Chains A and B, each alone.
Chain A
Amino acid sequence: MMLDLRSLYQETILEHGKRPRNFGPLLDATHHGRGHNPLCGDQCTVHLKLDGDVITEARFEGLGCAISTASASLMTEALPGMKLADVERLSHDVRALVTGEGDEGVDRDQLGKLAIFEGVRSFPMRVKCATLAWHTLTAAIHQNDNLVTTD
């Protein structure tokens, strides 16, 4: 049965859940977003540094489960160097992959490590854990000061 559990908690997720990258404040950030998953109380803050329409640095803070922490960690690894237009596309693709809705055109190879979150769709109660960071990213890009939720 633990095999099934491993389909959700792949090694990369467990590893990033335990030792998240880019965790902490970003002193000269230009953009911030705050997110909240009301289901479990998990919180996420995303800090971005933008140079024109390119993200040069991304960090996050917050309390969360292995899925939401790994999701934020891998997201912040993927963002630096990306143009905002490409980030929107990536964000859409990851969410489509996780929820299984609108994922027809998603190229899994292009998503790299982020493709492992596809396993989450078999665990509907955990989808919001995986999407929290991405919701929060959208809020940060749009300079939305309100707390966004996964609902």
Chain B
Amino acid sequence: MSRFDVEAARFDFPTLHQKVKGKDLVYLDSAATAHKPKLVIETMRRFYQMDNANVHRGVHELSERATLSYEGARRDIQRYLNAASHREIVFTRGTTEAINLVSNAWGRANLHEGDEILLTWMEHHSNIVPWQLIAEATGAVIKVAPIHDDGSLDMEAFEALLGPRTRMVAVAHVSNALGTVNPVRRIIELAHAHGALVLVDGAQGVPHMRVDVQALGADFYALSGHKLYGPTGIGVLYGRLALLEAMPPWQGGGDMIRVVTFEKTEYAPPPARFEAGTPNISGAIGLGAAVRYLNTLDFDAVHAHELDVLRYGTALLEQIPGVRIVGTAEGKVGVISFLVEGVHPHDLGTALDMEGVAVRTGHHCAQPVMQRMAVFATTRASLGLYNTREDMDRLADALRKSIEVFR
């Protein structure tokens, strides 16, 4: 544990240090959005205060600085994910837009009547609805791999659902509602053996583990900046260059073209082809700063710390009568989703907030998995690198107090 000093790291996150309802804030909603280190906030402030120009256009000094920072962030992220080329990093608004980009640009060109898209029961709505839309437009069919009672993927059933018509497998790296880590490397091997591509929804994956897209063999990997301690409104689609090069654009506009005439427009190569219009420049630069911040930490030590807090908190909650943890897959990360007998999650969320403890309640934008686990909503405590065992103590205390009120 010595290689990661959580108390020191907490000082890097200004928002954590405040009172909520008169109590020290305990933030347990990082799966919804993580807090930002000073480096991110300062980098973005400095960009607006010092540089602020459009990218890839002007020849003036400010534009050059903005372009260098924006493209520098792309390279920071490329290195962070170990992508082979910076051209494989496309900036998007977030994971949702990254998935929509693939479903539209790749899907329209490659999906035909009867082709199959394989999802799992634990997908977030953002990895379901874009595929439903493209399936409706192309006549492709959606298949869904089931999960076990503990929230882990039924790999046998998954494998059986792969077939000659499977064109795309879209799967969460980590379930946002349950914390289950999917064996994406194995999934990718199996899918590739069947000639299918794989998109990994990494929104909840990349905040909790080091991701090497080449080692994984992922064809596409989507992530959100704001869950990775960066700003909102920015995300990344990693795509293998050969795939991106073969994909048509999905949005037209400035910055994504090479030559425009009214007869014919030649598109720019990736990543510019997929970044029509003025991008979220400060957001990209902020995300670059976030991964540079993470690079200053020993990620294995951070991961060990997070797991320690997760296990400690899980054990505490299990001791409280009437608490049932939903999602108990081996190797899970970052999330404790739970039910309290006789107390609606929404009431619990309000009561915990009164104690300064911020959690998420509801269906977590993953209604199918809620249905599968036979619950309509849960209370979810989700962790960031800055959470501590003391946070878990506060959660457990607040929980006991709340239960007294509602029972």
Contact = CB atoms under 8 A, between A and B. Distances in A.
Interface string B362-387: 11000100100000110000000000
Contacts, number: 55
B23 A1 contact: yes
Given A1-B22, A2-B354, A64-B344, A40 B406 contact: no
A39 B21 contact: no
A95 B283 CA distance: 40
Contacts of A64: 344
B351 interface: yes
B346 interface: yes
B154 interface: no
A4 interface: yes
A1 B346 contact: no
B22 A65 contact: no
A14 B405 contact: yes
27 contacts: A1-B21, A1-B22, A1-B355, A2-B354, A2-B405, A6-B405, A8-B350, A9-B347, A9-B351, A17-B347, A18-B342, A40-B345, A40-B346, A40-B361, A40-B362, A40-B363, A41-B363, A41-B367, A65-B344, A65-B345, A66-B344, A66-B347, A67-B347, A123-B350, A125-B350, A126-B346, A129-B346
A123 B351 CA distance: 11
A142 B21 CA distance: 42
Interface string A1-15: 110111011000010
Range class of the B interface residue count: 20 to 34
A70 B311 CA distance: 37
Interface of A: 1-2, 4-6, 8-9, 14, 17-18, 39-42, 63-67, 123, 125-126, 129
B44 to A, nearest CB: 28
Contacts of B46: none
Interface in B17-42: 21-23
B45 interface: no
Nearest to B370: A41
Q: Most chain-B CB neighbours within 10 Å: which of A39, A40, A42?
A: A40
B377 A41 contact: yes
Given A5-B354, A66-B344, 13 more contacts: A1-B354, A1-B355, A2-B405, A5-B350, A8-B350, A9-B351, A17-B406, A40-B362, A41-B363, A41-B367, A41-B377, A123-B350, A126-B346
Contacts of A2: 354, 401, 405
A65 to B, nearest CB: 4
